[in-house]
Amino acid sequence: MTGTLVLAGTPIGDPSDAPPRLAAELTAADIVAAEDTRRLRRLTQALGVAPGGRVVSYFEGNEAARTPELAEALAGGARVVLVTDAGMPSVSDPGYRLVAAAVQHGVRVTAVPGPSAVLTALAVSGLPVDRFCFEGFLPRKPGERRGRLREAAEERRTLVYFEAPHRLEATLTAMAEVFGAEREAAVCRELTKTYEQVRRGPLAELAEWAAEGVRGEITVVVRGAEPPAAGEADAAELARRVAEREAAGQARKEAIAEVARGAGVPKREAFDAVVAAKNAGPRG
C-alpha cells in the first residue's frame, strides 16, 4: 500500500494564521520535508507541537537529489508532509518535482490549505480580481526580465509577481517602460506581519518610491492591459503599440506579433499599419 504526500501550507507571516490541521499533520507524519529546518523548528514551537517523524531538508539546492529518496518512502507507505518557508509548497517554492514523482508512482497527493501571498496581495490590492494570472519571480538578468514583461504587455488579466526587495526598483522601472508609466499597480510588503504595507499607484511613481529602499517580502500586483474600445484597434493605434515595444528594445517582428495577438487582429494587419505609419511620417 502506497503512502500519502501532504503539501502543507504554512503562515506567510503571523503564526496564528496556521490552519489547525497543520499541527495534526506535522505530528502524524513519518517524514517532514522542510525547506528550512530552522524555520520549521520555530513554527512548531509557535504551534506547541513536535514533528512525529524524521525531519529532512528539502530546498532548491538538494531538491533534485532528495526527490527519489522521498518518492521511494512514499511508495513504501510513508506519510510525507512537505512544508516550505511560507505559503503553499510548489508555488515558487520546492515541491513540484516531488508531486510529479508521487503522481508517477501512483501515490495519493493531498494538501492542507493555508495562507497565500498571491491571493492575499490580490485581495488587498484594489485591482480587478475576477481574472488574474500568477507570474512568479521575473528573471534576474535585465534583458531576460524585459523580455518576460513584453510577453505579458497585452495580458488583460491582473498580473501578480513575487520580487526580492533589492530588485524591486529595477523591476518596477522595467514594468513602467514596458507596460506604461501610468499602469496601476500595488506593492504589497510584509503581508500579515507587523510592518505590513500596501503601496498603490502608477508604476512610474512606485518605481520612484522603491528607489529609496524597500525591505521585506514583496508581492507586486499590476492591472492588466486595457482592452481596445470598439474601433480603437485602427492602423494608427496598432502602429503606436508596435513603436512602444520597439522603443523598449523588442524586435519589430516580435512586437508586431504580440500587438496583433493582443488586439485580436491578423499579424498582416499590424504589419501593414506599421508600414503605413512609416510612409506617413515627416518627409525632409
Gyration radius of the chain over CA positions:
23
SS3 assignment, position 174 = helix
Kindly compute the dihedral angle of the four CA atoms of residues 271, 276, 281, 284, in this order, to the nearest 10 degrees.
110
Give the bridge partners for 7, in sequence order.
82, 111
Please give the pLDDT value at position 281: 63
Q: Which sequence spans correspond to the domains of the chain?
A: 4-115, 130-222, 235-279
User: Cα 197 vs. chain centroid, distance in angstroms?
Assistant: 19
d(CA 141, CA 139): 6
Please give the pLDDT value at position 165: 96
The amino acid that residue 175 corresponds to is: M
Question: Domain spanning 4-115: which superfamily?
Answer: Tetrapyrrole methylase, N-terminal domain (3.40.1010.10)
d(CA 80, CA 260): 48
Has this prediction a pTM greater than 0.75? yes
Extract the residue ranges of the chain whose pLDDT is less than 50: 232, 284
What is the torsional sign of CA 246, 251, 252, 255?
Answer: negative
How do 218-222 and 184-189 pair as beta strands? antiparallel
The end-to-end CA distance of the chain, in Å, is 81
- Report angle CA 156, 162, 167 to the nearest 5 degrees: 110
Choose which CATH entry (3.40.50.300, 3.40.220.10, 1.10.10.10, 3.30.950.10) describes domain 130-222. 3.30.950.10
Please give the pLDDT value at position 219: 98
